Structure 1
Amino acid sequence: MSASRLRAADIRSLDRGLWALGERPITEADIVAALCRRDRDAFAAGLTAARLWGVPLPGVLADEVVSAPATSRRDHGRSVHRPRGRTVDIRIHLASPAAPRRGTALVRWSRLEATPVSLEKGPTVRVTSRIRTLLDLSGVLRHEALVAIGDHLVRHPRQEFERRSKPYASLEELLEAAGAFHGRGARRLRAAVTQMRLGSDSPAETRLRLALVKAGLPEPLANERPVGGVDRLGTEIDLGQPDLHWPRWRVAVEHDGPTHLTPEQQAKDIARGERRSRAGWVEVRTMAEDLQYGCRKAVNRVRDALLRQGWTPSA
């Protein structure tokens, strides 16, 4: 395109050397694909790769990046795009095995020896593998966030909802990768891998499980189906598959996320709670507000239920 065409009203500039046509919404994957077409050695890494893979990230780090973050400034007459201090750099992160390219207000570059893979979103959307992405995030994310990503990778999927039958990785693979990793955050990653579990279905469940264990409560089983109880008439009762539970003390925890707000799901939840009550179980249902301030409210409620069911701190 000529310079005059690029100045036309229907062309908008996204970054240096990068334009979009019309008002069609642009995704982060679109930007990565365009930059990978321009540079055949380039691939997405770090937080950008994590978002493209759809792994859970905390807070604003999960938000797509399609425009330059407001971190640019002038320093001694020179444009600087890196954030100040220890703030996380949320620009689109691209990497290459060659010398790093010059960063812009929208894109940061790093030198990285890795074997990228192509996403189904397009052959030119190249990213680091899921496991390699986890390794690279160990220098950016805290312990709890790393555990949540590991839980996401190793959990057994539900075929009817996710159209896949195998986890993205095994615990053995993550342990091996963490043991061989010596980059930034390696010690934090190895500590996180020891707390990753197969059964957590959401970051909220991971967060709650970690908080319960940190508070000195026994570690619960996650999304495993307990042995069915019986009611007073001796009829077997289906206890369902609790988010977290302690079979020894017959306590179950269910975290009510957005999918539990429909009338149909609420009716199912109530009926399930009544079945568990008939079998002698105590069900603790938590919501988002219970997970604030280090899950303090949830921990107190679960501790009370366990104590009422016979648990003692020395057990």
Structure 2
Amino acid sequence: MPSRPRPLPPDLPFAAFTTEEATGLDVSSARLRASDLRSVARGLWARRDLPLTELDIVAAYCRQDPAVFAAGLTAARLWKFPLPGTLSEGVVEPVRPTGQRSGRSVFRPRGNWVDTRIHLATAGVRRRETALLRWSFLPMEPTLLGSDSGVRITSRIRTYLDLGGTLRQDALVAIGDHLVRRPRSKFEGRAEPYTTCVDLADATQRFSGRGARKLRRAVDQVRTSSDSPAETRLRLAFVAAGLPEPLANVRISGPVEADEGPCDLGEPDLHWPQWKVVVEHEGPHHLRAEQLAKDISRGDRRRAAGWQEVRTTADDLSFGCRKAVARVRAALVAGGWRPS
């Protein structure tokens, strides 16, 4: 029966670490080849007893070189931007080569394909790209991802600008909404938005990199009141279909009740006060029994006050939100709206 590998040094508690870190703590090459470790990339090791994340890998390279920082899609994931589809999934494994050039593997995708490797940058000497890592030369001062993480990263605004050449305009609007939205301090532990519409617009006006025009168009559509990417997608779809732009997350009230004042009808995700139509998008938290009961009671109060309520789900977001558009159009027309 093979013997259990001896414990790693307590100064090496990381899920991912470099060969340089290990040898600096007198960990032998034979110990690195033990069954409780695996090679992720050249010079990078991961423990099998701990879950491996993209942040773990970035942290290892940042510890190795103080000039290294995360950029692009990797920075966006670490900032928890609402990226579309699989782009939101952390990268922890190398990708397959896309071809050969002069006898060497090439990993940069062609055409409209997105480079899904971990994206690191440096203001110093640019590194050689690998199946796991994409490198950029960015002569700038990065910021810290948290005061004690040791992970360096492009600022939120710079990260947003770097996504202009990769993402579609609607995805950039959703991220812009995320950056400028008014936080709910009770649930989020912060009282201020990450940035403002003015600062975001100023940054895109000064930016001249890839996707600059697309970024400016996206920022024109950014609003401070959207609470989720789903709300953003619905709002953009309604406007693109020729419907009036709705208000987002603004409190509404019903008729004055005896000795109690106006009836509180909540803050609809989206609504049109002129035609008394509201849209509520049902995310996963709305499926909890307690929340469902509250939603039903609120819907009853709204109907009693003369409002129409359209409730949407993830299924309504497909195919350009066409199902939601059709339902909302019908509700607006029933409420008295007429297309111009």
Fold-level match, TM-score > 0.5?
yes
User: Aligned pair in 2 of structure 1 residues 91, 121: CA closer, same or farther (>3 Å)?
Assistant: farther
- Give the 3-state SS of the residue equivalent to 2:309 in structure 1: strand
Deviates more, 1:67-76 or 1:91-100: 67-76
Rounded Cα–Cα distance in structure 1 between residues aligned with 2:256 and 2:306: 8
Identify the match of residue 52 of structure 1 among 78, 84, 94.
78
The answer to whether the 8 A contact 1:199-1:222 is kept is yes
In the TM superposition, what are the counterparts of 1:255-270 in structure 2 within 5 Å? 255-270=281-296
1:39 maps to 2:82: no
| Identical-pair percentage | 61
Do structure 1's residue 193 and structure 2's residue 237 form an aligned pair? no
Matched, 1:150 2:169: no
Greater shift in the superposed pair: 17-26 or 39-48: 17-26
Give per-residue Cα distances to partners, 1:234-275, cap 9 Å, x unaligned: 963211000001111111100001111111111111111111
Residue 9 of structure 1 and its aligned partner are, at CA, apart by 2.1
Structure showing greater radius of gyration is 2
- Structure 2: segments with no counterpart, 5+ residues: 1-22
* Equivalent residue for 1:21, pick from 27, 44, 47: 47
What is the aligned partner in structure 1 of residue 280 from structure 2?
Answer: 254
**Match for residue 236 of structure 1?**
262
TM-score of the superposition, structure 1-length normalised? 0.95
**Residue 200 of structure 2 is aligned to residue 174 of structure 1:** yes
Q: 1:78-227 alignment to 2 at 5 Å?
A: 78-120=104-146, 122-226=148-252
Distance in 2 between the 1:67 and 1:162 partners? Answer: 32
Q: Find the counterpart in structure 2 of residue 303 from structure 1.
A: 329
Aligned to 2:303: 277
C-alpha separation between the residues in 2 aligned to 1:136 and 1:268?
41
Aligned with 1:166: secondary structure? Answer: coil
CA distance in 2, matches of 1:162, 1:71: 41
- Secondary structure at the aligned position of 1:14 is classed as strand
Report the 3-state secondary structure (helix = DSSP H, G, I; strand = E; otherwise coil) of the residue aligned with 2:151: strand
Question: Would the aligned equivalents of 2:257 and 2:263 in 1 still touch at CA under 8 Å?
Answer: no
Checking the alignment, whether the CA contact within 8 Å between 1:72 and 1:105 is kept in structure 2 is: no
SS at match of 1:144: helix
Seen in structure 2, the aligned counterparts of structure 1 residues 199 and 74 have a Cα distance that, compared at 3 Å, is same
SS in 1 for 2:333: helix
Which residue is 1:286 aligned to? 312
Q: Check if 1:67 corresponds to 2:93.
A: yes
Which of 143-152 and 97-106 deviates more? 97-106
CA deviation string 1:258-304 (max 9, x = no partner): 11111111111111111111111111101111111000000000000
Residues 178-200 of structure 1 deviation map (CA, whole Å, 9 limit, x = unaligned): 10000000000000000000111
Q: CA RMSD in A?
A: 1.7
* Letter matched to residue 141 of structure 1: L
Contact in 2 for aligned 1:231/1:279 (Cα 8 Å): no
Bigger shift: residues 4-13 or 273-282? 4-13
Deviation readout 1:25-77 (Å, 9 max, x if unpaired): 11111111110111211100010001001110000000011111334544453
Equivalences, count: 313
Q: CA offset at residue 92 of structure 1? A: 0.5
Q: Which has the higher contact order (CA 8 A, sep 6+)?
A: 1
* 8 A Cα contact 2:256 2:262, kept in partner: yes
Distance in 2, matches of 1:132 and 1:117, equals 10
- Greater shift in the superposed pair: 270-279 or 62-71: 62-71
Please list every run of 5 or more consecutive structure 1 residues that lacks an aligned counterpart in the other structure.
Answer: none
TM-score calculated relative to the size of structure 2: 0.88
* Distance (Å, rounded) in 2 between the aligned partners of 1:97 and 1:185: 22
The offset of 1:121, in angstroms, is 7.4
Mapped to 2, the partners of 1:274 and 1:233 lie a distance apart of: 18
Q: State the secondary structure of the residue aligned to 1:280.
A: coil
Give the deviation of 1:176 after TM superposition: 0.5
